[in-house]
Chains A and B, each alone.
Chain A
Amino acid sequence: MLRYLRIWLAQMRYSLAREMQFKGNFILWIIVELCWFALQLAFIGVLYFNVKEIAGWSGWQMVLLVSTSHLVQQLFQAFVMINCMNLPELVQTGRLDFFLAQPVSTRFLVSTRAFEPGSIVNCLMAVIVCVYAACKIPVPFSPVNIALYVFLVVLGVVVHYSFMMFLMTMSFWMTRAQGFVHTYYNLFQLARLPREAFRGVVAVVFTWAIPMLLVANVPARTLIDGFGWKEAGYLVAITVVTFIASGRFFEYGLKHYTSASS
């Protein structure tokens, strides 16, 4: 375990050094994410310009939900997302051979190779907006409440990772699995919406099967109303299940890997 942590830290140091060689690009990508975050907040502004409450969420509660979703997304982006997105290319070019030859778990190496420090800056922005919104609601801050919130946010990141990994593993059979990145982004858009707004089959599917309506809703609701066993318990269970299932699927995909021109 400690060995894996050391490898991860070494890869992060390498990524940071590489990123700092292109400082302009590093700053521009931070601006990109800030623009998208501002856009989401502007949309809330437009909505609440006309109404006081949507599906039981007040304006500031909605800001907390959107910034929590942004926090989950940025954490995911910082540590693993780019690695998942690179998997199809590794498979197509045969460069995955290099990872298979290493004496550590291939899934671990593939998932942690690159790190995006710019997303950490955006995480801080999300945290600032979260705290501001929480103070405006106001939320009863306590060490337990905050610890639970952080724990649930981490679970949200793992759920995103598992689903993205599942989609990208398709590259062992398909040549254009990058197209699934678009699918993932579309799914992610649901995460920042209040789950009480959804009804019928869509609500069931995106709550219990593909839990996009839980990953940001549950941490935000926990911070506002306190711990809810049903949703939080399910989030823990689905995180464990999807993490193990995506790992198994990746191992299965590896068996179909035939390398390329190497």
Chain B
Amino acid sequence: MTAVLRQQMTLYSRIFSLGMQNSLVYRWNFLVRALAGLVPLAGSLFLWKAVFSEPESTNFSGYDYHLMMAYFLTLIVMDALTSPVEDDFAIARDIKDGKISQVLLKPIDYFTYRVSLFLASRLIYSAVVLLPTIAVLYAFRHFFSGVHVGETLPLALVAALGSAFLQFTIAYASAMLAFWLLDIGSVVFILFSVEYIASGHIFPLDVLPAPVYAVVRLLPFAYEYYFPVGIFLDRIHGAEIWQGFLLQWAWIAFFYGLGLSLWRRGLRHYTSVGN
């Protein structure tokens, strides 16, 4: 049993290492992507500054200008650490081009294989964008003056880990549609548009009217960005944190199960020629 486990560990650590080497090829691409990501951030900073300069909005649903900026700055760190970059399209390509045949013929579990590549890619991406991210955070450190980092950071990191797995399982499950669809792009982008607004990517979810917020926090998307950032900024506390973790992992289990079930069904349809 231990020998099998060790063998599996060696196998996936090799895949992880290969994934890192592959990601390193695109290090400049990662850097350009991260720097380009600062443009919309600058847009958000200026827009919210304009919002808070209006006399009636010194308090925007409990947020002041500093807290709102801290929210968006934490969001870019979350983005770098947890967001899958085109993993869904890469999985769909594997299925469409028949590359999964190579995995099927070997004692490799495709889900674990893709998780290893995802983690490797995140590690390299985070390493490449570390310096610019630190520079940005340092330049805007005054926005975090009211945040008790020591108290909120540990749980926020656990929530960020859950967020990475949730985002990956959602991407994996949606990529499974490639077994039936020629192009998954449209479905992915529809999902992405809902995800973009319901995950707290363009505004913190608790600025929504209370009944809307109550519904949105039951959806999986709230646990991708809003939940970890909310914990870090102490917008989510007490029992809400544990309820949140419960929901986050329930959604991870749901999408993992969905992905697995679609994979099994898809393989029944799958035919591969000349691979």
Cα–Cα distance between A50 and B58 once the two chains are bound (Å): 10
Residues of B within 8 A of A42 (CB): 197
- In chain A, what residue has the closest Cβ to B198? A39
CB-based contact A54/B46 at 8 Å? no
CB-based contact A55/B61 at 8 Å? no
Residues of A within 8 A of B50 (CB): 54-55, 194, 196-197
CB-based contact A198/B46 at 8 Å? yes
A180 at interface by CB-CB < 8 Å: yes
Residues of A within 8 A of B196 (CB): 39
Known: A31-B186, A182-B36. A43 touches B202 (CB 8 A): yes
Known: A50-B60, A53-B54. A25 touches B193 (CB 8 A): no
Residues of A within 8 A of B54 (CB): 51-54
B105 at interface by CB-CB < 8 Å: no
Interface residues of chain B: helix, strand, loop or mixed (majority): helix
- In chain B, what residue has the closest Cβ to A47? B51
Q: Which residues of A211-236 have CB atoms within 8 Å of chain B's CB atoms?
A: none
CB-based contact A32/B32 at 8 Å? no
Known: A31-B190, A50-B207, A194-B50. A187 touches B56 (CB 8 A): no
CB-based contact A35/B190 at 8 Å? yes
- In chain B, what residue has the closest Cβ to A32? B189
Residues of B within 8 A of A198 (CB): 46
CB-based contact B43/A189 at 8 Å? yes
Cα–Cα distance between A54 and B42 once the two chains are bound (Å): 16
Residues of B within 8 A of A22 (CB): 182
Residues of A within 8 A of B209 (CB): 49
CB-based contact B36/A186 at 8 Å? yes
- In chain B, what residue has the closest Cβ to A56? B50
CB-based contact B39/A190 at 8 Å? yes
What is the 8 Å Cβ interface bit string for chain A, positions 3-46, against chain B (1 contact, 0 not)?
00000000000000000001001001101100110110011001
- In chain A, what residue has the closest Cβ to B209? A49
Residues of B within 8 A of A190 (CB): 39-40, 42-43
Known: A28-B190, A54-B54. A199 touches B46 (CB 8 A): yes
Known: A186-B40, A197-B46. A28 touches B186 (CB 8 A): yes
Residues of A within 8 A of B141 (CB): none
Q: Which residues of B235-268 have CB atoms within 8 Å of chain A's CB atoms?
A: none
Cα–Cα distance between A157 and B149 once the two chains are bound (Å): 45
Known: A25-B186, A54-B47, A54-B54. A35 touches B207 (CB 8 A): no
What is the 8 Å Cβ interface bit string for chain B, positions 10-54, against chain A (1 contact, 0 not)?
000000000000000010010011001101101100110111001
A179 at interface by CB-CB < 8 Å: yes
A101 at interface by CB-CB < 8 Å: no
Determine how close the nearest CB of chain A comes to the CB of B182; give it in whole angstroms. 8
Cα–Cα distance between A7 and B258 once the two chains are bound (Å): 48
B134 at interface by CB-CB < 8 Å: no
- In chain A, what residue has the closest Cβ to B187? A28
Residues of A within 8 A of B183 (CB): 25
What is the 8 Å Cβ interface bit string for chain B, positions 186-205, against chain A (1 contact, 0 not)?
11011001101100001100
A183 at interface by CB-CB < 8 Å: yes
Residues of B within 8 A of A36 (CB): 189, 193
Residues of A within 8 A of B32 (CB): 179-180, 182-183
CB-based contact A46/B39 at 8 Å? no
CB-based contact A202/B46 at 8 Å? yes
Cα–Cα distance between A186 and B51 once the two chains are bound (Å): 21
Q: Which residues of A157-193 have CB atoms within 8 Å of chain B's CB atoms?
A: 176, 179-180, 182-183, 186-187, 189-190, 193
Determine how close the nearest CB of chain B comes to the CB of A48; give it in whole angstroms. 10
Residues of A within 8 A of B49 (CB): 197
Cα–Cα distance between A252 and B72 once the two chains are bound (Å): 40
Cα–Cα distance between A183 and B39 once the two chains are bound (Å): 9
CB-based contact A46/B43 at 8 Å? no
Cα–Cα distance between A183 and B77 once the two chains are bound (Å): 18
What are 21 pairs between A and B in contact, CB < 8 Å? A25-B186, A28-B190, A29-B185, A32-B186, A32-B190, A35-B189, A35-B193, A39-B197, A47-B51, A50-B51, A50-B56, A51-B54, A179-B26, A182-B33, A183-B36, A190-B39, A193-B47, A194-B47, A197-B46, A198-B46, A199-B46
18 more A-B residue pairs beyond the given contacts A31-B190, A52-B54, A197-B50, with a C-beta to C-beta distance below 8 A? A35-B193, A36-B193, A42-B197, A43-B197, A47-B51, A50-B60, A54-B50, A179-B29, A182-B33, A183-B33, A186-B37, A189-B40, A189-B43, A190-B39, A190-B42, A193-B47, A197-B49, A202-B42
